[in-house]
Structure 1
Amino acid sequence: MNDYRNYTTEDFAEDDFFRRWVIAPDAETDSFWQNFLVQYPEKNTVILTARSLLQAVSQVQIMPTETQGQRMWAAIEHRTAGLPGLEEQPDADDENRWVWPKIKRPDWFQLAAAVTLLVGIGWWYMLRSKLAEQPGSYSGLVAQSTIDLVEKINNTPQPLTIRFEEGSTVVLQPGSRVSYPAIFTGGKREVYLSGEGFFEVSKNPQKPFMVYANGLVTKVIGTSFMVRALEETKGVTVIVRSGKVAVFPIKSLDRTQPETGQPAGALLLTPNQQAFFDTDSDRLTRKLVEAPV
């Protein structure tokens, strides 16, 4: 069995055993890959991306039957029969006359497979281009991550609590998802949210906690707050219960204000304050919470 721990998205998409699980699953493949995801949760995002790729490609693999292929090729031959130079027969009295070679009919299924491969490659690059055009979106940020991320999805009707390795937690509401590294390395603790989550962050002044959600960044050291970034809406809401939180558009991440040390356009929120970020206008507004969390 292959060592799948170091596989990339492309490696999984090309693996026969993985393709069998995605396209024609059975008890053996389903048992193996479900156990693999339990043992190596950090590969969840890579596997989900590879599955999506194969499923999308399979949708264009609508192969005609052999009879349909023969009929289509016959129609092509019929319509091109009158074109000059495609095929000529030698005269009986001129055996040395040079003739155009007869075009060999290609194998229909090989041709269809080649076309499908090209369509699949085109779809893959189109998908990557779309994600690159949306740098602040959940899918775009996850796709651009240079490290493996663990993704947790709340497919239950109840809130789901996720605990990060350094002790912080997030309570995910139904239908929400969060991606994060198995171990926070470097000088920041970065997570990516789609949906609604209530965070309680362990205090660490040397390593701020940053939540990316639909174009907005919420930066904290140690506090509790709620982020609502539903995909079907055009905005993000952040409500603070304790501590202090800085929120700012992701576009301002690399533009720091010298006088405050915070990114340009950042708002500082204190307990029972909330901020709303309009993703269409990139506008941030702040107000008091009517019903404190």
Structure 2
Amino acid sequence: MKNPDINSIDDLLANELFRKWILEKDEAAAIFWSQWIEQNPARLEWVAAAKAIIETLTESDKQLTDLEINREADLIQQKLLSLNPAMYDDEEPGYLETYNNGKELGSKGILFLPRTRGTRHLVGIAASLLMIAGVYWYYNNKPRPLPINAYKAFMQETKHKSFEYKNNSDGEQHIVLSDGSEVVLEKNSRLTYAANFSSGKREVYLEGNAFFNITRNPERPFIVYTQTIVTKVLGTSFYVKAMSSDETASVVVKTGKVSVFKRENFTSTDAGSPTLKGMVVTPNQQVVYDITNEQMNKSLVEKPAIAPQTTYSFDFDDTPAIEVFNRLQAAYGVPILIDEEVLKTCTIAASLGNEPFYEKLRIICKIINATYEVIDGTVVINTRGCK
């Protein structure tokens, strides 16, 4: 096979055998270029840069038109020129041709590349190209919501025909929806839902604050949209605070499990799926969304409560510490992370009653010389164990 005349990166880009190696993974081409690199180790930076450009533009072709690909090639050229204009003063322009599976797409963008420069310049150029190609690839290939955002689809549907509850009174308004779900709407709050709620999706839009007690139906998830966040449940009770005048929005779970999303990230797939994704929140946990900084944080509520209609005994008589923490976790629904191997010799002797959750936790930890911290809505027990 004839040794190609390669004097620059754009010579690699124009070489059909090089494109065949990169795009088609051709075995013969791979062997040839492997040998060529061994014979020309100083040209490795060119190979890396050319490979990055070809892969970036051809992968992006799945989403971009030929004209857009050409425009992006021009942007790469402009970026390189802006890095060091003097470097290209006496260089000739080359053409960056885009291909898909070895077939020329016909769009070209001018790419200025030096033909005679020292190794230091070449390394810098290659690094710049790789950086630009990498950033460009990320922004064109990062996960995105589906073309039809679930929130937009819902708002479009309710625009034509919907029902609305608006609480202008000084007290709470109790609402029973057609699926049996209950909503306690606070004052100055509004609840909107599509006319097909009883036969189609269980979706509502909330402006303000409300407590929801949702009838369980895994086949038809219940979705609460607000201005900034979306809450999806299968059947549970929770509180949503989403006043438009507030700097934060929050979801507090009383029973069951919910998932919370940023509104712009919630897709039609998320809406129709029977599983819970997003940020999953369990009893006595809350999600607070900082609207200004666009950050969601999960934590424990200030006063965790025992699950409704359940009773637990907190009388411990030399009870293994592992069992004590498991009982506490079951009663409050709060995840408690322990090292069972370290705690296997520890026992608890204490009679606890109506103390708040954190007080119970403090007493138990003191008995076994442990400490605790709350991380992302989970209690983490720190101890060296018991002798």
TM-score with structure 2 length normalisation? 0.36
Structure number having the greater strand percentage: 2
TM-score with structure 1 length normalisation? 0.47
